[in-house]
Structure 1
């Protein structure tokens, strides 16, 4: 029996350069706003043409890892702000720990009849009154997500009396609602921005957005907060660490 060896594809020159530069950024060897070596320096270092270097730098710029200043060169960009999904935290709570300023634009706050999906998630009968809150979450001056939240009416009535422009619903539930949180179940997927979400997030219609469905329960396991989150992926990240058991 004979065996045929498999030959792995050889990385392109610009791909190899891109990955080496990328590793220096991710490892922290280059800090935000550090100047990237000039095109001429990279040409000399790698023995390649200017077009090859420009391809590598162009890939990093498209990934928002570097930015260019006309007449001055390329510089390392600030890392995207991120929230750890492994911790049950509100958006403002998580971003505040990292020194980021946040605020919310409240679009809707009303009592509605629970449809079949909301009723099922919150373990209510269809048609039961629930509180629906819709917000655009801002990080600095940039919108990063559109959040739909449904709460049982008795909790929702307490929540809407508070300052939803600056406070997380999670903290309001725990402090004013005296409802300690227990756990949350999440489902993540990709979708595209319709006209309404595109306008609220400042992206083009049809742009890819991250969709998160989250159901949060109290310490007794009672579901109390059902959400749909539509998040920009170009200026914000969610991260999750997984452990092998």
Structure 2
């Protein structure tokens, strides 16, 4: 049986990626450029690229193009979890995009986790964590508002939660508990992670405490399932 044209294109691109013509993180030529190269229409190219995405070889970023997938980032879940340190240890460049900082009233779950009264103020910080420019996680962190009144301004100024907490007087904190749940990405989460809707993600919900055991953060993180390897590490 004759091989479909889109399949032949996908095979060619796979060989080129495997041979290192396109390295992890590289952007592939545009659909128009690939269509001109292979003498086909863009629909055929789109079909070939979709096949590569299904294999986990590439991923698309809305408005940016199609990129060769990075190797999974090793991310240990130990008592001390620091995003920048973990990504640097994996040999990749860490960065973060802060998408939201807000002071609002706590709900019942947040108040219980942080030992507050429901309705007490909390600071909310949300954003996307990236490794070598590729989104690997979406996060939401909730902090006691009374203890960290200037946290939103500090986060916007520094782009770092750890440095912002240090500037607020908290130089050390550790993870007290973590819950992990597998789920599928909804359209909003998929857009932030640059994955297809329904792609697997791993959600972690953690409570971090200060040296006296007082809760200082309720953190929820959604990791892209094909880009992160979570490991449970016993750290001092």
The TM-score bracket by the shorter chain reads 0.5 to 0.7
* Superposition TM-score, scaled by structure 1 size: 0.63
Q: Tell me which of 171, 177, 180 is aligned to 2:168.
A: 177
Q: Tell me by how many angstroms 1:159 deviates.
A: 2.8
Give the whole-Å Cα distance in 1 for the aligned partners of 2:186 and 2:128: 15
1:220 counterpart SS class: coil
Q: Which runs of 4+ in 1 moved over 4 A?
A: 61-64, 163-167
Question: Where does structure 1 lack aligned partners over 5 or more consecutive residues?
Answer: 1-32, 36-60, 65-76
* Superposition TM-score, scaled by structure 2 size: 0.65
Instruction: Tell me, yes or no, if the aligned pair for 2:76 and 2:230 is still in contact at 8 Å.
Output: yes
User: 1:146–1:63: structure 2 CA closer, same or farther, 3 Å change rule?
Assistant: closer
- In the alignment, is residue 113 of structure 1 matched against residue 113 of structure 2? no
1:82 counterpart SS class: strand
Q: Tell me by how many angstroms 1:79 deviates.
A: 4.6
Per-residue CA shift, 1:166-186, capped at 9, x if unaligned? Answer: 65423432x212222143310
Aligned to 2:63: none
Correspondence list, 1:91-102, <5 A: 91-102=83-94
User: 1:34–1:194: structure 2 CA closer, same or farther, 3 Å change rule?
Assistant: closer
Give the whole-Å Cα distance in 2 for the aligned partners of 1:163 and 1:115: 22
Q: Tell me by how many angstroms 1:132 deviates.
A: 0.8
- In the alignment, is residue 138 of structure 1 matched against residue 121 of structure 2? no
Aligned to 1:4: none
Question: Where does structure 2 lack aligned partners over 5 or more consecutive residues?
Answer: 1-17, 21-53, 58-68
Instruction: Tell me, yes or no, if the aligned pair for 1:181 and 1:218 is still in contact at 8 Å.
Output: yes
Aligned to 2:200: 208
- In the alignment, is residue 161 of structure 1 matched against residue 153 of structure 2? yes
Give the whole-Å Cα distance in 1 for the aligned partners of 2:157 and 2:87: 15
Q: Tell me which of 161, 172, 191 is aligned to 2:183.
A: 191
User: 1:156–1:140: structure 2 CA closer, same or farther, 3 Å change rule?
Assistant: farther
Instruction: Tell me, yes or no, if the aligned pair for 1:111 and 1:130 is still in contact at 8 Å.
Output: yes
1:228 counterpart SS class: strand
Q: Tell me by how many angstroms 1:236 deviates.
A: 1.6
* Count of paired positions: 173
Greater alpha carbon shift after TM alignment, 155-164 vs 187-196: 155-164
CA-based RMSD of the aligned residues comes to 2.7
Give the whole-Å Cα distance in 1 for the aligned partners of 2:98 and 2:195: 19
Aligned to 2:140: 148
Q: Tell me which of 196, 215, 239 is aligned to 2:231.
A: 239
Q: Tell me by how many angstroms 1:90 deviates.
A: 1.5
